Amino acid sequence: MRVSLLGTVLVSATLWSLSTAQVKTIQGDLKLQTVWDNIWGVVQVVFLADGKVLTVHKPGELHVYNSVEAKSQDYVTLLDIKDQVYSWWDHGLLSASFHPQFPQQPYLYIAYSSESPGNPWQDQCVPDPKKVAMTNPPDTRPYCKTMAKLVRLKVDPDLTSAKFDQELFQDWCSSTYTHHVGTINWLEDGSMIYGAGDGSHFQGLDHGQPQDECTDPKGPKDQGVFTAQKDAYLRGKFLHISPAAVLKNGYLQGGQDYSQISKGSRNPFRTTVDPKTGDIYIGDVGSSVWEEINRIPNPLSADYRKPNFGWPCVEGVDAVSDIYQTWLRAEGLLATCQDVYDGNFTKPVFSYRYGAVDPDFPDECKEADASISGITFYTGDKLPYRFQNKLFWVDYSKKCGFWFDQTADGTPDFSHAHAFMTTTGAQAGGVTDIKTGTDGYLYVVDYAGGKLYRFGATDDTRMDALMNGGGPEAVVGDTKMWIETAPSTYNWQYGDLVTYQLMTPPGFPAIDPDKVKWRVTNGHCVKNPCTGSNDCHFHEVSLTKDSLTGMKGSFRPSPHPMESFIKILGTVEMPDGSTEKVEFTTHALAYNYKLTSDPPGLPIIIDEFTCLVSPCITSQMAKTNPGFAAQNVQVYQDEIYKFDHWVATSVSTGKAKVVARTIYEETADGDYAVEARYVKTKMAAMDDPTLGVPANVQADGEFERVSVTWEPHAPGPNAPDFITISIRDATTHELVKEHMTTAAKGAVVLPLPSAPADYTVDMSWVSSSRNARGIRTWPVAFSSKAELTTGKLACLAGTQFAEELKSSPIAGLGDQYQIALLGTYPTTLAQGQQVRLTFDVVSATASQLMVNILDKNDYSWLAGKVVNIPAKTERIVVVDFTIDTEVTHKAEYFIDALLIQDAKDYTSALVEDTSAGGIVGIAVPDATPVAATTTIPVPAGTTPNSPLQPTQPGALAGPRREPGDETPKQPTAVVAAANP
């Protein structure tokens, strides 16, 4: 740890060469080249008929290359409007397209998020304390009003300069950080197709908060995300702009210059037009359930009908958005989505989410998160014949590319997505565009990696020769420079200003500050319910002009679901002309939540996911608002219960607060145990025939789960709004599993015991407004399987939040001693760093919680602590300590937690829990341990003991063996037991 001249405590790290990422093709008749490297900020590529290439850069620049064979630095800046573009998170300059008759019509059209006139945000958005306090609980999300613009530029014939000619639109008001600007496309008659997102927050509920200047205070309650369903707004809509209007002087007028041709889109980032049919295909980035490819029929055709894609009422084919329907029901506003719930919406032509997208490659592209980010029809001739005229698309989060074959009539065959591109490694493969080049090759833009890729046929010898004229510039690996940040890692919170500085050792060559360039990205990881891994993708963090270059800079982190972290990348041109890169990862302070219910085991909604069986575990960045929701009606032991309130108990103080709303959004200011409490309801009517009986009930048993489907029932004034699902043992008829969900869903997947068995399922409608339950269906028989069926996903959405309590293996003590490592824990370690861990502990008698951080290779001890646990403990315990010993550079560590009877005897362990590893050590140059900058209170009732001392092989318990050993070794150091 180092201290700056200003007295700020800094954590530093020496950086090894950047983690390599490999983009590859998995089709044997394709090959891949990196055409350009270090083209940071590029989100789109446009190919012109004369061979020139236009690259679109999110911060607000357009670059022109004479050809795709030019070197990556050999371009002309056609336009630089960085001071006018609001490039924060997913906002920015995202799309450009030449008039289809260019250069006869010398126009280029651009779509971008604009800076606020008179009050520019300068690509930053910081919560306003006055706005935060406008609601109870305070809404800590940032709200910075911006508009999207569609602008016509006049371009000179040689593409060396461009000037503003006409602003056609200034609309799509958005105060959030995503779901904004879309893609420009053209139809055969010269008319334009343009669409944009819903402009709403993706984290938590956004129904049109008072903090949002885009919300009309005199308008209805359901604004925000719901504007995608309202014709009075352009948000979430696609527009058809006439050929004359795109050349018009003046703002365009609805009904005269353009018409709405679809609604109900969330974040339609990229679109393409079928060159044969004129149909428009949209890649709509989904929420937490489905990614969608949607189709708008050719607006010029006689059989065109305006589609409604259903957002935010539904996602995918029939997935009702639980958190939004819960809010609509509570506010009496179900009519907003009634038409969609009645089934009057256009289903996607293709949807996907978890696991491998291509069943032919089950081990590829199976990341948990997904973001469809580019789509095009390949119209070239350089790929093998089987790829020609096919629909291709790419996914930013899965870091993969796919294509569809064709049906007999030449339209895409959406029954099977075929993978052609995959990525291994972290910060690359974040692709944002895919296009056919003028030269006939297929090109993919890698925004996260700052690259342009070219795909061609394996036997294409010309493609190899093309690389002679250009290619990526070499970058030197291992460097002795490092980056320091303040506040230190795991100590900054949402809203803090985080500074970074490039550091060099004594005698290092002098660095010209103007030769240092910075890039900051926000990594976001989602736990994959299929694999258990944390799958990550990256968002750009906007920097001010002063922070883009120089020896130091700063940024303000944005709220993001956990696990979330910041990567700081510095690119340095050395005095000898070589280039070196340094990188540092820093993490926010996060708090952990244990969500339970009374009665126990009921589902809880976490953002857009439903944790099927509580207790549920999740983490939240400090000072942000979680988005938990409780369904207002549930079933338990065949009785109906209604939601009453939440009780949130602080782990550090033991104080409890009550929240009466079904949606829990209290600011994250500590670890909490949060319980959703229900009360049993006396039903006014049982077996009510007026509610009807669920129809077409089917059950498909699989290994450890069952898929249950039924004919959905749309909500309405007198209609049932929920459905109960009861699964019973087919022989004993005992209740094995029960579940209640919204009647409009039509499908649910529920967990089952591992052992194969025969079951039945019966269902009944419930009306929460009438306190009535309908007649049960006849039992439908099904059987679970002993192993997973080939081709099926080995996962269940929502299970990623399930708590995994480890029970004592000692006979008779299983339920008396339990332990679980909860939520987020550090993934990097450096000397002087504070470590903060959260555990769920059950201990019938007085015991001690021993926490060790161990080297995964040889089990050598790095750090740890012992905490006294009183008898009859059933609660969350926070353990914090500082890494006072030297950390091995690049070593992998793991956390080992033991509940023991006596710290003097490691073999007295009652139960043990360990992390999966993946914690990387970072050596700190000339480290001198300094007191932690933040003091985290120890939970009431616990007393921290002295830290463990280093041992060989470490503070291990039970039968664990070192590699190659046949007998367990005893530690050579002993920690004195603390008085209970």
Residue 665 located in a structural domain: yes
Query: Which of residues 122 and 306 earns the better pLDDT score?
Result: 306
Please check the confidence at residue 203 and state whether its pLDDT lies above 90: no
Domain count, the chain: 5
Higher pLDDT residue, 342 or 839? 839
- What SS3 state is found at 424? strand
Q: Do 182 and 153 fall into the same domain?
A: yes
Domain end position, chosen among 657, 681, 705 = 681
- Looking at residue 533, its pLDDT comes to 66
Average pLDDT score over residue span 707-733 = 88
Work out the pLDDT band at 534, boundaries 50, 70, 90. Answer: low
CA gap 45, 396 in Å, rounded? 16
CA-nearest of 694, 692, 691, 710 to 770 is: 691
Same domain, 516 and 624: no
CA 228 to centroid of chain Cα atoms: 21
Residue 963 has pLDDT above 70, yes or no: no
CA gap 174, 697 in Å, rounded: 43
Q: Which of 336, 124, 318 is nearest to 225 (CA)?
A: 336
Is residue 641 located within the same domain as residue 619? yes
In a domain, 166, yes or no: yes
> Is residue 508 one of the residues assigned to a domain?
yes
Confidence of residue 479 (pLDDT cuts 50, 70, 90): low
Of 296, 462, 466, nearest to 375 (Cα)?
A: 296
Q: What percent of the chain has pLDDT over 90?
A: 47
Residue 47 clears pLDDT 80, i.e. is over it? yes
Q: Decide which of 587, 620, 641 is a domain's last residue.
A: 587
Q: What is the CATH number of the domain that holds 577?
A: 2.60.40.1400
Is residue 616 in a domain? yes
Whether 530 and 547 have beta carbons less than 8 Å apart is answered as: no
Backbone angles phi, psi at 132, to 5 degrees: -55, -40
* 152 backbone dihedrals φ, ψ, rounded to 5°: -100, 125
Residue 925: predicted pLDDT: 59
pLDDT digits 0-9 by tens, 777-788: 999 999 999 988
Q: Average pLDDT of 955-974? A: 31
pLDDT of 52 > 90? The answer is yes
Question: Does residue 544 sit in the same domain as residue 626?
Answer: no
What is the model's pTM?
A: 0.75
Residue type, 891: A
What is the chain's Cα-based Rg? 29
pLDDT of residue 948: 33
- 846 occurs within a structural domain: yes
Position 790 scores a pLDDT of: 66
> Does 210 share its domain with 194?
yes
- Residue with more model confidence, 8 or 912: 912
Specify the pLDDT at position 10.
30
Q: Which of 330-334, 595-599, 713-717 has the lowest mean pLDDT?
A: 713-717
The secondary structure element, H or E, covering residue 463 is helix 461-466
What is the pLDDT confidence band of residue 940, given thresholds at 50, 70 and 90?
very low
Task: Determine the pLDDT at residue 903.
Answer: 66
Residue 85 sits in the same domain as residue 206: yes
Q: Which amino acid is at 530?
A: C
Confidence of residue 828 (pLDDT cuts 50, 70, 90): confident
**Mean pLDDT, rounded, for 671-677:** 94
Q: Is residue 745 part of a domain?
A: yes
Position 791 scores a pLDDT of 61
- Averaged over 828-856, what is the pLDDT? 90
Asked whether residue 937 is domain-assigned, the answer is no
Handedness of CA 58, 64, 68, 70 (dihedral sign): negative
Same domain, 570 and 641: no
- The pLDDT of residue 531 is 66
Residue 918 domain flag: no
- Which pLDDT value is given to residue 607? 75
Contact present, 1 and 832 (Cβ < 8 Å): yes
- Domain residues for the domain of 624 are 590-681
pLDDT tens for each residue of 879-897: 989 998 888 888 899 999 9
Same domain for 276 and 145:
yes
Residue of higher predicted confidence among 346 and 979 = 346
Q: Binning pLDDT at 50, 70 and 90, where does residue 458 land?
A: very high
Question: The domain spanning residue 147 has which CATH number?
Answer: 2.120.10.30
- The sign of the CA dihedral 767, 772, 775, 780 is positive
| Same domain, residue pair 763 and 740 | yes
308-322, 426-440, 494-508, 788-802: least confident range: 788-802
Q: Mean pLDDT across the stretch 964-978?
A: 29
Taking the C-alpha atoms of residue 743 and residue 766, their distance in angstroms, rounded to an integer, is 8
Q: Which pLDDT value is given to residue 225?
A: 92
Find the mean pLDDT for residues 186-214.
89
- Cα separation, 808 vs 189, whole angstroms: 72
Kindly report which listed range (369-373, 719-723, 787-791, 825-829) carries the lowest average pLDDT score.
787-791
**For range 930-938, the mean pLDDT:** 31
Q: Across residues 283-296, what is the average pLDDT?
A: 89
Chain centroid, CA 809 distance in Å: 37
Q: Answer with the residue of higher pLDDT: 974 or 856.
A: 856
% pLDDT > 70, the chain: 87
Facing residues of 527 across strands?
A: 534
Does the pLDDT value for residue 760 go beyond 70?
Answer: yes
pLDDT for 456: 94
**Lowest-pLDDT range of 37-41, 154-158, 277-281:** 37-41
Q: Which of 142-156, 313-327, 960-974 has the lowest mean pLDDT?
A: 960-974
Nearest one of 583, 585, 397, 562 to 494, comparing CA atoms:
562
Alpha helices in 332-455 (DSSP H): 335-341
Q: Are both 553 and 595 inside the same structural domain?
A: no
654/601 same-domain check:
yes
Cβ atoms of 153 and 122 within 8 Å: the answer is no
Q: Say what the pLDDT of residue 1 is.
A: 30
Over range 922-926, report the average pLDDT.
Answer: 65
Among residues 551, 568, 587, the one where a domain terminates is: 587
pLDDT of residue 366: 78
Average pLDDT, the chain: 84
Q: How many residues does the chain have?
A: 980
Q: Assign residue 841 the CATH number of its domain.
A: 2.60.40
- The letter for the amino acid at 780 is V
Contact 748/739 with Cβ under 8 angstroms?
yes
**pLDDT for the residue 544:** 81
Residues 634 and 749 in one domain: no
**HSE, side-chain direction, 13 A CA sphere, residue 286:** 29
Averaged pLDDT, 23-52: 92
> How do residues 65-111 score in pLDDT, each as one tens digit?
999 999 988 999 999 999 899 888 888 999 999 999 999 999 999 99
**Does residue 605 surpass a pLDDT of 50?**
yes
Question: Looking at residue 426, what is its pLDDT?
Answer: 53
Q: What is the β-pairing status of strands 238-241 and 146-155?
A: unpaired
Confidence grade of residue 144 (pLDDT, cut at 50, 70, 90): confident
